[in-house]
Amino acid sequence: MTRKKDPRTTRLPVPAGELPAFAPVPRRCNRHDGWTPDRQRAFIEALADLGSVEAAARAVDMSSVGAYQLRRQPGAEEFRAAWDAALQLGIQRIEDVAMDRALNGVEEPVYSYGKLVGTRIKRNDGLLMFLLRNRAPERFAAGGGAKAMNAVGKQELARLKKQWRAEWEAEQGNVTSADIRASIDRKIMDIRRQVERERPARRAALSEETLAAFTRFCELRDRDLAATNADERTVRITAVTLETPSTHFDPPVLRVLPAPERTEEPSKTDASSKDGSFGP
């Protein structure tokens, strides 16, 4: 059977010098779809890149079972040494990926009522502390060995996060309270400009009768406020415009209707007695 070429074999090789040279495992018969010397070298390079025997075997169109069988064959001493060296490089790459995820987080979807509404970045503090304890045990692991994160580790992590936060804020530059107020004022002005741009469209949606009724409402409101000498809070609450939402006012109090009176129906015995169904 002829093995089809897999596009996954097209990959970047490991830079020269990172993997030791080795003598391929001798085979009794050199099949073009078997563990040829070129395929053995490609497998070791893929193992260094991927850090997984299964993935590396798949990258060279072979099975992981066949790779382990090849490792046990006579004359595979150098192949096994290259295998172990490639795994060390692969583990380093996996650690780098894990450190990147611990620091920068991973993006995960956010659903609401079964619908995708956005994404968020999720960070794993436990993974970060685990990597720190393994990469720098003399600084982050009590007793000089890598351990899981406990209460002391959590306190140390909180301290480090504050330190990193302070360093990040220092890099962003000093932001004064005046800058914050100016930013808020700019946002308020942008909202006001947007309201002004939308005002003609809202007024065009109302008829002349509705606009006249609203004008009359404002006149009656001002008259009532002046007659009652309303305080500032009442004036502010009743100061509405065409842009005021309907939820501005409290909902009207609905009058509770009394429950209907129930009349007792005459029993069947009484009804039978009245129509003369019983008796002598």
- Cβ atoms of residues 54 and 64 within 8 Å: yes
Helix ranges (H only) for the chain are 37-50, 53-59, 64-71, 77-104, 125-135, 137-140, 151-172, 177-204, 208-228, 232-238, 268-274
Confidence at 6, pLDDT banded by 50, 70, 90: very low
Backbone phi, psi, residue 191, to 5°: -65, -40
- pLDDT band of residue 140 (cuts 50, 70, 90) is low
Tens digits of per-residue pLDDT, 56-77?
999 999 999 999 999 999 888 9
Read off the pTM: 0.38
Least confident of 177-181, 239-243, 270-274: 270-274
Residue-level pLDDT at 99: 77
pLDDT at 142 over 60: no
Q: Do the beta carbons of residue 43 and residue 57 sit within 8 Å?
A: yes
Instruction: Convert the pLDDT of each residue in 98-107 to its tens digit.
Output: 777 777 778 8
Label residue 143 by pLDDT band (50, 70, 90). low
Q: What is the pLDDT of residue 207?
A: 87
pLDDT, tens digit, 9 for 90 and up, residues 117-131: 888 888 777 777 777
The residue whose two tokens read 């800058």 is 179
Q: How confident is the model at residue 9 (pLDDT cuts 50, 70, 90)?
A: very low
pLDDT-derived band at 1, boundaries 50, 70, 90: very low
Rounded-to-integer distance, Cα 88 and Cα 245, Å: 65
Q: Where are the domains of the chain?
A: 7-101, 124-172, 208-240
Bin 178: left if φ > 0, else alpha if -120 < ψ < 50, else beta. alpha
Indicate the SS3 state at residue 9. helix
Q: By mean pLDDT, which of 88-92, 151-155, 260-264 is the weakest?
A: 260-264
